[in-house]
Structure 1
Amino acid sequence: MRTIPPLRSRRGRGLALAAIFALLLGALSALPAQAATVAPITNYGPDGEQTVRFDTQGNAVDAHDGAIQRFGDTYYLYGTSYDCGYQWTVNSTFCGFKVYSSPDLVHWTDRGHVAKARSCKFCFRPHTVYDKATRKYVMWVNDQEAADKFRVYTADRPTGPFTEQPVPDLPAGTHCTADLDVFVDDDGKGYLACSNAGWHIAVIELTPDYLRAAGPYDVTGVTRVEAPSIFKRNGTYYLTMSDPNCGYCTGTGTSYLTAKSPLGPWKGRDAWTAEDGALTVHGGLYGLSQQGEDWSDYTFSFDVAPLPTTSGTSAQAGFSVRMNQDDHGYLFLLTGSGTGNGKLSVLRRAGATTASHVVQLDKPIVAGEWHHVAVTASGSTLTTSIDGVQVDTYTDATYPVGKVGFREWNGANLESAKFDNVTVTSASGQQLLADDFSGDLSKWVVPTAGTSITANSCGGQPAQVATLPQRHGAPIHMYFSDLWDFHTNEALANYHWEPLTFGADGSIDPVKCGNSTVRLDPGHPGRQAAIPGLDQSSGVTGFRTGCDVAGNVRREQSFTAGRGGRLASLAVTAFKDGTEQGRVERTPPSEPLTVEVTDGTRTLWSGSVPAEQIGWSARNVTVHPGIRVRRGAHYTVRISSTTTTGCYGVAYNDHDPYRGGASAVSNDGGTAFTPEPGRDLKFLTTVRGA
């Protein structure tokens, strides 16, 4: 459960707000005088907390792992919905793909589903483009249960209805099964970027109708990556990606490659360099020998000096034997902090660790100090020695043959090491490989490494870089990251949107992970939908979510009636959530949510909302008390539940958006409530009649 934290001290709040307003005013004053729409892209509150984006009806935007596009003068957000209760790897309750529209990237209107809910265990990442030749909107989605792992739909309008087309039939050599992006070049040609079984990225040219593969494709050299996105700027093509791959993680890196053609060759930074007579490796994951697919019994020996990781807390060097496919074979990790004794981890890998053990060494492994390592593969036995002393014997017959190589991890905690004096000798004494790195790296399949622009994607995982053309001037390249919370249901995930900036050489500047403004041309100011009879409201900006209403925990919000009449409706933004153990299961509430209206001393109205009528995304839960209220009188809305599983959550704001009341919490079943000054729940009331 994501509980609501206690109120914190307000010290420093004024400075934070002042800084934000100063930045905003500075940005506005620097803009040209001609008419334009200035869109504030708000990802975080004054204290740096993630905030929820609400649509024009006041419900949380529920469209994730998708894409933003501009068609005509309108912006569209496509994404996967989670409100109905889909849980990754737990159930097949696919909630459908949704689309929202906006004139200004701020006010989003829910346009409904472009693919309806159905049974599907793995349905993600809707990406929609417009084909000028066919005058059709084409949407590609990932569906692991489809014949080719993908489905393609077309429509006459960006909001649908979309009709499914035949299986796209992708080339077998791409092995594409997962994340995707669709890119349309200036000449009208379409390309599909997709991740494949080895977590590489492939780029495939599409037919003129964008429905199938045209034939040509390129598989990039990056590994253990996903979430590809292609855009073009000043004649250079950029391919951004999640680096490394990690489903629903709260902080994977984003890196990129560049090319002069969508079909490559794609280039990044040099993960491997031969310098000063040794090999230096900075990330890049696996690099394997060019030869060795059929090597069976051999000794792989080399000198190694682990270097500090980015965090500086340890040093680690990786090496592998009997590995013909990245991350499928035997991996060894030599690790040390420089103080206590080091360790050797031995892992059997098949895209993930399937067996492992750790050997505690009798000496420290210090960053920068050289050691001689030898691994002998003989039949099903792997024997490892360090500095001439045998430290481990491991028996396993899973991989009988394969290449040798080195492996350093990418991501926030980048690993580095130096290697030298490599030899591979067969059981009969024949030298199969020798390299002292005094020349080039032609004896190795050198990994391609992306250039990092953020180590943690601002607390999430990248989804897309959206190219948003403008009527005048250069397009906006909007970086889009889903701020996952590492749960099996991601209905509460927030977003980070930020326009990219570039260096003079075309390199992407580091992502700043803050708030920003963009000038839209074309663009038109949007607004929230009008609510007939609206009386009181805490607004829609600066809210976050927490879940703890269950059993003895109750929450309430006081308000002051602005006029007399009947309380026609009262809406509290709420959701349901479940308990989760090891990302395996989330059991939602089994009992209804009770809503009461009081005058502070007695209950004026009470009702209940069944659990099945409340979604997993933060939405307006509306009741219709119909009781009379007096202008200027104070009232309280209280929510509670007797559920023993899961919880009900609320949207709340700790910066006092509503001055006519405040929230309070009870932890003893309603006997006593503790005021929370400055905190307000998201709510609204309508009053009608005299």
Structure 2
Amino acid sequence: MKHTLFVMLSGLLFSTATYAQTDTLNAPATVLPGVYADPHIAAFGKKFYIYPTTDGSEGWNATSFTAWSSKDLVKWKSEKVILDLPRDITWAKERAWAPAIAYKNGKYYYYFSADVNIGVAVADKPTGPFKDALGKPLVKKAMLKGQMIDPMVFVDDDGAAYLYFGQGNCNIVKLNDDMISYDATKIISIKPKGYNEGSFVFKRNGKYYLSWSEFDTRDPRYSVAYAVSDSPMGPFIKAEQNPILKGKGVVKGAGHHSIVQVPGKDEWYIAYHRFKIPGGNGYNRETAISPLRFDEKGNILPVDVFEKVKPVKIK
């Protein structure tokens, strides 16, 4: 009887462990309170930062941008509004979407979508205050095919910076050293299979990874795929194992991501939005973070959207 009871208890324990691994009804808590989307995550100094879109309005009519900081990726502090379109920008008043940030020349350059144009602001600190660098768009509405939104800037090891942007197509151009101008005749437009929007680029072990969102942000199938190249300008070859990030169970619409490396370590995390849980949709999205891992060949492994992030310190 004792042996039988042990077997039954062992089976119960095994079943409980199995359930914990396959539970798709209890997603990890969000990292930002309320509804925020399109998070750009970065590490500066001893802190991590997230620059999101303020969500919660049909048509995505937000008018300002906020920043958030963290010492451990788990607890986040509001740095409040860092750029307000009606107050700080003369050429756009609404549709403040999908920002990104880059550091060069001792300055922080903040790239943002505003009324389907792309602008750039500059500050001395990652929390601003940011000031419009041009007094006009960096990329004007309808300049190319598709929407002129979702900027991302990658600064390479040699200091060269590259701008990636666009919905419908992924447009790539090398920025000038001032970070606020470029040669428009040098723009390359590509469209990897499945590409919709939200491009992001990082470098690991000499390889350039271009990732993007597929489907529409209002679609529960919204997901992230990637390609690899030997150059920041491409050509990029889409990986066989895709998507790397997608919803499962209660998590829907997982996409529009960014990726950060813990400084000094081969340790990576992906920030993204998902439909608000419960009752969210493409206008009510919330920000989450998950670990990002690679296999021995450098392929990105599928992200587990139910894995909780443990506190991480920058040394």
Q: Structures share a fold, TM > 0.5?
A: yes
1:505 to 288, 297, 300: 297
1:13-45 Cα offsets, whole Å, 9 max, x none, are x979x859x99xxxxxxxxxxxxxxxxxxxxx9
Is 2:43 the partner of 1:74? no
Is 2:196 the partner of 1:255? no
Is 2:195 the partner of 1:217? no
Shift of 1:477: 2.6
Asked if structure 1 preserves the Cα contact closer than 8 Å seen for 2:35 and 2:287, the reply is: no
2:82 to 114, 118, 124: 114
- 1-side partners of 2:24 and 2:252: how far apart? 17
Asked if structure 2 preserves the Cα contact closer than 8 Å seen for 1:218 and 1:264, the reply is: no
Structure with the higher fraction of residues in helix conformation: 2
- 2-side partners of 1:522 and 1:47: how far apart? 32
- 2-side partners of 1:53 and 1:256: how far apart? 24
Is 2:119 the partner of 1:182? no
Asked if structure 1 preserves the Cα contact closer than 8 Å seen for 2:39 and 2:98, the reply is: yes
- 1-side partners of 2:173 and 2:145: how far apart? 8
Question: How do 1:380-419 and structure 2 match up within 5 A?
Answer: none
Question: How do 1:510-589 and structure 2 match up within 5 A?
Answer: 510-517=302-309, 520-522=312-314
Asked if structure 2 preserves the Cα contact closer than 8 Å seen for 1:249 and 1:484, the reply is: no
Asked if structure 2 preserves the Cα contact closer than 8 Å seen for 1:124 and 1:141, the reply is: yes
Is 2:236 the partner of 1:481? no
- 2-side partners of 1:116 and 1:211: how far apart? 19
- 1-side partners of 2:147 and 2:229: how far apart? 20
**Paired letter, 1:515:** E
- 1-side partners of 2:157 and 2:258: how far apart? 17
- 2-side partners of 1:249 and 1:230: how far apart? 24
1:51 to 13, 16, 29: 29
Q: Structure 1 residues 454 and 106, CA, compared in 2 at 3 Å: closer, same or farther? A: closer
Q: Which residue of 1 aligns with 2:263?
A: 470
Q: Which residue of 1 aligns with 2:101?
A: 128
- 2-side partners of 1:224 and 1:469: how far apart? 27
Question: How do 1:617-632 and structure 2 match up within 5 A?
Answer: none
Q: Which residue of 2 aligns with 1:208?
A: 177
**Paired letter, 1:51:** A
Q: Which residue of 1 aligns with 2:115?
A: 144
- 1-side partners of 2:54 and 2:310: how far apart? 27
Q: Structure 1 residues 19 and 164, CA, compared in 2 at 3 Å: closer, same or farther? A: farther
- 1-side partners of 2:239 and 2:307: how far apart? 29
- 2-side partners of 1:255 and 1:461: how far apart? 11
Asked if structure 2 preserves the Cα contact closer than 8 Å seen for 1:461 and 1:482, the reply is: yes
Q: Structure 1 residues 521 and 224, CA, compared in 2 at 3 Å: closer, same or farther? A: closer
Shift of 1:517: 4.0
| Count of paired positions | 287
**Paired letter, 2:121:** Y
- 1-side partners of 2:244 and 2:281: how far apart? 25
Asked if structure 2 preserves the Cα contact closer than 8 Å seen for 1:80 and 1:126, the reply is: yes
SS in 2 for 1:141: strand
Q: Structure 1 residues 192 and 211, CA, compared in 2 at 3 Å: closer, same or farther? A: same
- 1-side partners of 2:255 and 2:309: how far apart? 20
SS in 1 for 2:153: strand
Larger Rg: 1
- 2-side partners of 1:202 and 1:468: how far apart? 24
Shift of 1:95: 4.2
- 1-side partners of 2:169 and 2:211: how far apart? 13
Percent sequence identity over matched residues?
A: 23
Q: Structure 1 residues 163 and 515, CA, compared in 2 at 3 Å: closer, same or farther? A: same
- 2-side partners of 1:104 and 1:269: how far apart? 31
Shift of 1:117: 5.9
Q: Structure 1 residues 159 and 50, CA, compared in 2 at 3 Å: closer, same or farther? A: same
Question: Which TM-score applies when normalising by structure 2?
Answer: 0.79
Shift of 1:141: 0.5
- 2-side partners of 1:191 and 1:212: how far apart? 11
Shift of 1:466: 1.9
Q: Structure 1 residues 206 and 459, CA, compared in 2 at 3 Å: closer, same or farther? A: same
SS in 1 for 2:272: strand
**Paired letter, 2:269:** M
Question: Which TM-score applies when normalising by structure 1?
Answer: 0.38
1:38-93 Cα offsets, whole Å, 9 max, x none, are xxxxxxx9952453445xxxxx25542131111101111111223xx63216xx4x
- 2-side partners of 1:232 and 1:163: how far apart? 29
Asked if structure 2 preserves the Cα contact closer than 8 Å seen for 1:460 and 1:483, the reply is: yes
Structure with the higher fraction of residues in strand conformation: 1
- 1-side partners of 2:288 and 2:275: how far apart? 10
Is 2:115 the partner of 1:165? no
